[in-house]
Structure 1
Amino acid sequence: MKKSVIVALALAVVALIGIVVVTTGSAKALNVNDVGNDPASFTGTITITGIMGGISNQDPSIFGIMDIKELQCTTQNCNKLFIPIKYQGQMPKFGDEVRLTGSFVKLADGYLFSAHKLKVVRNHKIGG
């Protein structure tokens, strides 16, 4: 009897560890529109998904992402919200849907998202 309780407990612990390992890497990514209007309320490390829409003229390690929903806007008067991203690795291409992990940094004129991890999900053929 005692041996079967120990085996059952060990199996439960292994199952719990497996669940924790699987769910830890699958945190829900926020969209640009979720965080763009109030980046100060997002502290610590978060994950954001968006579409690469441009590179800074002043700093080539900074690019902007827009919300995925902005792809549905087909007129020129769309009010697109861009979040500036600072990343020291290989830059995504225009139209790449990216999943970024990092945190917001307060600057004198606003906020910048400093990403330490970038994954290209896919490319959306946008623009002309």
Structure 2
Amino acid sequence: MQISTYLLFDGQCAAAFAFYQQVFGGELQLTTVGDSPMQQAFPPALHARVVHARLTSPLIDIAASDWLHPTEQPQPGNLMCLYVSGGSAEETTRLFQQLSAGATVTDPLTQHPFGLYGALNDAFGVRWMFHA
């Protein structure tokens, strides 16, 4: 299990990560809605949106997507969160439940085609995303 930085964009993830790759180098993995198993669940207008991007090198390891929560507008402070990934479903569920104390759960921990996923804003206003 690992905690890393996760950036949230509203349609500019691919451009931002192409830029970051130019600056920092590294290997870029990027999946759009149109390239994912979720393609049929979204209208064609959303198929270019990034479901998940990750840029890794000895210098950087960041991940991102074009999925800012629908109730929020992009603004400084809500475009970054802590991303808990790589653990078992049991570990992920335990951490999610513990961090839920006093939190606003925006996405209950649920199984999706891409794995177990959930998100919350903890009691201190920090955004957390979970994926197993």
Smaller-chain TM-score bracket: under 0.3
Calculate the TM-score normalised by the size of structure 2. Answer: 0.25
Q: Give the structure with higher Rg (CA).
A: 1
TM-score (norm: length of structure 1): 0.25
Q: Relative CO higher for 1 or 2, CA cutoff 8 Å, sep ≥ 6?
A: 2
